[in-house]
Amino acid sequence: MTALVECVPNFSEGRNAGIVHSIEEAIRSAGAAILDRTSDHDHHRSVITFAAPAEKVGEAAFRGVCQAVASIDLRTHLGVHPRIGAADVVPFVPLKGVTLEDCARIARETGRRIWEELRVPVYLYEAAALRPECRNLADIRRGRVAEPDFGNIRLHPSAGAVVVGARKFLIAFNVNLASPDLEIARRIARAVRQSSGGLPCVKAMGVLLASRNQAQVSMNLTDFEQTPIHVAFEAVRAEAARYGVAVAGTEIIGLVPQKALEVTAAWYLQVENFVAGVVLEHRLENH
């Protein structure tokens, strides 16, 4: 059985399709399969999801980072999403026949190579972190961790730094409000995120999508089994209702595990004693 790893790098370019395409091609050139690409003008960010055998995934990620460093200049970058690098964050996720610790090893090896060959400082986070203060990506972005794991504190002049790590599946789930009021979105984010006493395994921030004239509650669900999509959505909707604001729609950035959608569908349909076996595709697999 081939050991498969998913990688979901976030690049600080969401407007120039040519640049994003060149990064995709660099990743593909190492034998990786591109599964999804999501770009956003307001966030000025692209999320590329790819999968590759464990022995190839680090090379594919490195080639993507290399192309991003050559193509993206943060000195002229304006977007609502927080970032510290042209290749902002590069997480490795175990898919099949590989452990989280295996992915952490790949992350550390890739991070060291990024510094040694590209001279871009690297921070290691989540399961790949070598220091407890580096586990949380938000703390690194806020400047709470001074020294990188590889390189020096001086950022690359145009590419900044990159955060490389290993983690479980993460669902990037955004709720768009029928209002341009950024302050309301920020209050809702504060109410639902774990760090402010909200839902477990939820990270959230409020941003303004200028191109749509809408405020957005942008969330990362780091463990959908603890906080499923529908729980996060209903919490945002309830908080929005307190301010007299409706939900205009939602977005899933990147890919989402089938199980997460099944759990949410079963909850909204109020299916009694739901089991995966009632799903046709599961039953076909078993036979």
User: Which are the catalytic amino acids?
Assistant: 81
Q: Return the amino acid letter for 271.
A: V
List CB contacts of 280: < 8 A, sequence separation 6 or more.
none
Among 44, 43, 24, 26, which Cα is nearest to 35's?
24
Place of tokens 């199980």: 259
Tell me the β-bridge partners of 165: 91, 125
Rounded Cα gap, residues 45 and 78, in angstroms: 10
Task: Provide the angle, in degrees to the nearest 10, between the axes of the packed helices 54-71 and 100-113.
Answer: 40
What tokens appear for 188 in the block?
């809702």
What tokens appear for 32 in the block?
């990786």
Alpha helices in the chain (DSSP H): 17-28, 54-71, 100-113, 137-141, 182-192, 229-242, 258-269, 280-286
Is residue 15 packed enough to be buried (19+ CB in 10 Å), middle (13-18) or exposed (0-12)? middle
Strand order in the sheet with 202-209: 202-209, 214-221, 171-177, 247-253
